[in-house]
Amino acid sequence: MNAKSGKGFGILVTFCAMFLFWLLLSGIFDALHIGAGIICSAIIALISHDLLVKGKGEKMLSKSFRFFIYIWWELWQIVLANFDVAYRVLHPKMPIDPCIIEFDTSLRSDLALVTLANSITLTPGTITIDIKDGKFWVHAIAKKPADALLVDKTMQKKVADVFMEW
Amino acid sequence: MVLIDVIVILFLAAGIFFMFTGVIGLLRLPDFYTRLHATGKCDTLGEVLIIAGLLLYHASHYYHEAPLVPVKLLFLIAFIFLANPTATHAIMKAAYMTGVKPWKLGEERR
Q: Is the minimum CB–CB distance between B105 and chain A shorter than 8 Å?
A: yes
Query: What is the rounded CA–CA span in Å between residue B38 and residue B91?
Result: 14
* Residues making up chain A, counted from first to last: 166
- Angle, vertex CA B29, rays to CA B24 and CA B35, nearest 5: 85
Beta carbons of A52 and A8 less than 8 angstroms apart = no
CB-based contact A123:A152 (threshold 8 Å): no
- Burial tier of B42 (Cβ tally within 10 Å: 0-12, 13-18, 19+): buried
pLDDT at A36 over 60: yes
pTM (2 d.p.): 0.80
Does residue A110 belong to the interface with chain B, where contact is any CB pair within 8 Å?
no
- Complete DSSP assignment for A48-83: HHHHHS-S--TTHHHHHHHHHHHHHHHHHHHHHHHH
Report the mean per-residue pLDDT for chain B.
Answer: 85
ipTM of the complex: 0.76
B109 versus A1: the higher-pLDDT residue is: B109
pLDDT at A1: 45
**Min Cα separation A112/chain B (Å):** 14
pLDDT by residue (tens digit) across B53-90? 999 888 887 766 777 888 888 889 988 988 888 888 88
pLDDT of residue A56: 56
Looking at B29-38, B58-67, B96-105, which range is the least confident one?
B58-67
Q: Please report the pLDDT score of residue A21 as a whole number.
A: 87
Please name the residues between 10 and 69 in chain A that touch chain B, using a CB distance below 8 Å: 24-25, 27
The helix (run of H) or strand (run of E) holding residue A158 is: helix A154-163
